[in-house]
């Protein structure tokens, strides 16, 4: 029998829908927003929008015939035949090969129609096989084998009339077509099938012979629509605009990528009139992400056959009829209680006590106090500021000492008042501890490249993930893999220190992935390193008067952003490197001063910066341009300017987090 660590590795290693396969029935948790999608009654096309890792592809594959008619599913009702999902993610490289190369545009348009006719036609046929092999009692293998496709010969006389032969012929036609596209000059051009018309004819023939499918509607889900060429998008847009029963086309794409709404005619796609948008990312975040994330975690653990003694049934998470049961306060409380116990979070007081119990960190605190007192020309002993019973107050005193309007004697008085339990500025309305503690903790940990427990805890993992389920599961996976388990029972909790190590490792891994993000991958990677380093520098300010900066706005400068700069911003948002929040009701990206840009919090542990949205940094357009396309010398000069402006000690630039200063980015 496999050890538990190996079982956990097995179930968590497949953290993308593509790695699971097309039948995701046993892996899928019905999301709390599922009813908003109106699966069984909607007849309008949908545009499913969401960033990487939000569960968009998983949802589409759940809606596909492989999952809805999975052999693992019992008691499939008749109503499920009203929604037969056909999932298609276009091969980006292949579709982009269907352009130019001395071939006429109308030939490529006809070839794309032919390609979609084959791909979706095969999915229609395979959907019948899925239904026949499922628990649905009214259609079996004999029914589909008796189908007659004689009438399809009007499209091409070579098309066979039996089910299996038609399937094999379409597969062969696909291979023939792929061969032609790869060598258009030498290969004979195939006889093209008309895309939407062929698919509709195929469905009509099937419905005319299978009475159980009288009310069946076939929904085509085209994933990663943004990767298609412009003329291909226009063809799909035209089909979508004129979608009607029994064939409905739907799109799925990343946020900010639905740029082409042209059709083959004079019309454009119109929201609401032609389609309805569903932003999965917003749905996930707006419908109690913590509960949903915990449910996915527990279902994943259950698939490793781990005895976790949960106070709820994980099978209910797969049942669309149990959504209301999972929305009750008692259920939510039970789910979160288990999750919070599994990944406990340290309180501020516990974080502070850990500093006093760690010789290295305590010595660093003493050193900061000594330097601050020297700066203020004070002869008060460092020991006067170290109060073991009030460690949070002690930890923030170096930052207070660097502030001109706060005198060392004032801080001593406030510490004494705090010890007496009287009103004071540490815990009172001034909120010294509340406003400064986390920034001061991060300052202590950064010089040693040690994992900071600030990044531990279930709720912290949810904040770091910000709706990205893949990020969340990876944080959990790396945490669980750090505990030595050889029995089929999980411990009551994972040590916060181990969680923090996992968070930093996951953060570094996801940062490395940025290079693969589309056309600006290398430039985006360099940008994250530079922006993260700038935020890290702001966290090293001696006064910490503007602490926990993790988002920015762009103000006017001498240089103006050009079209390529705005395109870069769009790509950063599309790939969830940045998220955008408007400070006014306007949502015009050409007015950057009205927009706050938030660095994806998953990168926070790598840079020892906050993941919380606290204070923003105002960057001039000149500074922003340096961050996205300046050379290494320009960026180094920018960092030095901010070091002087923020009164950061010169030796802070030698910290491991600023190693990026020695690297020339690939842009």
CA distance 403 to 643: 17
| Helix, strand or coil, per DSSP, at residue 20 | helix
* pLDDT of 653: 63
Residues of the chain with pLDDT under 70: 1-19, 307-308, 484-492, 583-593, 650-667
On the 0-12 / 13-18 / 19+ scale of CB atoms within 10 A, 309 is exposed
CA distance 226 to 69: 29
Nearest to 150 by CA among 135, 166, 131: 166
578-582/549-555 β-pairing? unpaired
Cβ atoms of 483 and 491 within 8 Å: the answer is yes
Residue 550 phi/psi, 5-degree rounding, is -140, 5
DSSP E strands in 69-151: the ranges are: 84-88
CA distance 605 to 405: 32
* pLDDT of 586: 46
Nearest to 528 by CA among 459, 597, 461: 597
Whether the upstream peptide bond of residue 649 has omega within 30° of 0, thus cis, is no
Cβ atoms of 373 and 408 within 8 Å: the answer is yes
Residue range 291-311, pLDDT digits in tens:
999 999 999 888 877 766 788
* pLDDT of 312: 86
Assessment of whether the complete model's pTM goes beyond 0.85: yes
Residue 15 phi/psi, 5-degree rounding, is -105, 15
CA distance 380 to 357: 24
Element at 618 (helix H, strand E): strand 615-620
CA distance 147 to 210: 8
Nearest to 302 by CA among 8, 5, 62, 6: 8
| Helix, strand or coil, per DSSP, at residue 457 | coil
218-222/84-88 β-pairing? parallel
* pLDDT of 7: 54
CA distance 345 to 657: 24
CA distance 552 to 580: 10
Euclidean distance between the first and the last CA atom of the chain, given in angstroms as a whole number: 49
CA distance 149 to 158: 12
Cβ atoms of 208 and 147 within 8 Å: the answer is no
Cβ neighbours, 10 Å, residue 265: 11
């Amino acid at each position: 029998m496999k050890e538990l660590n190996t079982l956990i590795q097995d179930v968590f290693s497949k953290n993308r829908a593509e790695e699971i396969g097309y039948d995701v029935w046993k892996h899928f948790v019905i999301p709390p927003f599922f009813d908003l999608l109106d699966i069984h009654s909607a007849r309008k096309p949908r545009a499913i929008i969401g960033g990487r890792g939000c569960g968009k592809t998983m949802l589409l594959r759940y809606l596909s015939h492989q999952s809805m008619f999975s052999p693992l599913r019992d008691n499939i009702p008749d109503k499920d035949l009203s929604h037969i999902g056909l999932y298609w993610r276009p091969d980006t490289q292949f579709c982009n090969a269907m352009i130019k190369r001395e071939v006429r545009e109308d030939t490529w348009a006809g070839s794309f129609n032919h390609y979609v006719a084959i791909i979706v036609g095969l999915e229609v046929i395979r959907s019948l096989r899925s239904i026949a092999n499922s628990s649905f009692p009214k259609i079996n293998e004999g029914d589909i084998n008796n189908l007659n496709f004689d009438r399809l010969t009007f499209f091409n006389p070579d098309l066979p009339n039996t089910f299996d032969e038609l399937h094999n012929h379409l597969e062969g036609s696909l291979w023939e077509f792929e061969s032609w596209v790869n060598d258009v000059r030498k290969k004979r051009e195939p006889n093209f099938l008309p895309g939407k018309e062929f698919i509709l004819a195929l469905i009509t023939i099937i419905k005319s012979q299978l009475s159980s499918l009288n009310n069946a509607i076939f929904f085509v889900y085209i994933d990663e629509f943004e990767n298609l060429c412009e003329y291909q998008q226009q063809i799909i847009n035209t089909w979508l605009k004129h979608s009607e029963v029994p064939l409905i086309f739907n799109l799925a794409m990343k946020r900010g990528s639905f740029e082409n709404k042209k059709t083959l005619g004079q019309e454009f796609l119109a929201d609401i009139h032609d389609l309805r948008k569903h932003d999965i990312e917003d749905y996930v975040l707006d419908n109690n992400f913590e509960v949903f994330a915990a449910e996915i975690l527990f279902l994943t653990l259950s698939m490793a056959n781990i005895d976790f003694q949960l106070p709820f049934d994980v099978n209910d998470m797969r049942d669309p009829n149990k959504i209301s049961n999972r929305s009750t306060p008692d259920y939510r409380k039970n789910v979160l209680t288990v999750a919070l116990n599994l990944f406990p979070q340290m309180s501020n007081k516990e974080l502070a006590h850990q500093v006093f119990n760690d010789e290295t960190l305590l010595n660093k605190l003493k050193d900061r106090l000594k330097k601050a007192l020297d700066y203020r020309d004070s002869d008060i002993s460092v020991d006067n500021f170290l109060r073991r019973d009030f460690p949070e107050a002690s930890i923030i005193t170096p930052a207070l000492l660097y502030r001109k309007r706060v005198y060392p004697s004032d801080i001593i008085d406030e510490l004494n008042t705090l010890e007496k339990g009287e009103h004071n500025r540490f815990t009172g309305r001034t909120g010294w501890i509340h406003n400064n503690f986390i920034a001061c903790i991060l300052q202590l940990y950064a010089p040693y490249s040690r994992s900071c427990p600030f990044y531990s805890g279930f709720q912290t993992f949810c904040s770091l993930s910000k709706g990205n389920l893949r990020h969340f599961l990876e944080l959990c996976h790396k945490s669980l893999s750090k505990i030595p388990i050889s029995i089929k029972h999980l411990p009551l909790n994972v040590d916060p220190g181990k969680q923090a190590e996992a968070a930093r490792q996951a953060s570094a891994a996801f940062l490395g992935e940025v290079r693969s993000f589309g056309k600006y991958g290398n430039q985006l990677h360099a940008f994250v390193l530079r922006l993260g380093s700038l935020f890290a520098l702001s966290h090293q300010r001696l006064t910490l008067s503007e602490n926990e900066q993790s988002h920015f706005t762009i103000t006017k400068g001498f240089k103006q952003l050009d079209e390529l700069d705005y395109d870069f911003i769009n790509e950063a948002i599309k790939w969830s490197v940045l998220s955008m929040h408007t400070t006014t009701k306007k949502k015009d990206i050409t007015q950057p001063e009205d927009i706050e840009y938030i660095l994806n919090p998953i990168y926070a542990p790598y840079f020892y910066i906050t993941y919380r949205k606290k204070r923003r940094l105002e960057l001039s357009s000149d500074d922003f341009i340096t961050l996205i396309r300046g050379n290494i010398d320009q960026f180094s000069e920018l960092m030095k300017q901010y070091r002087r402006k923020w009164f950061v000690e010169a030796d802070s630039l030698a910290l491991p987090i600023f190693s990026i200063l020695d690297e020339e980015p690939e842009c």
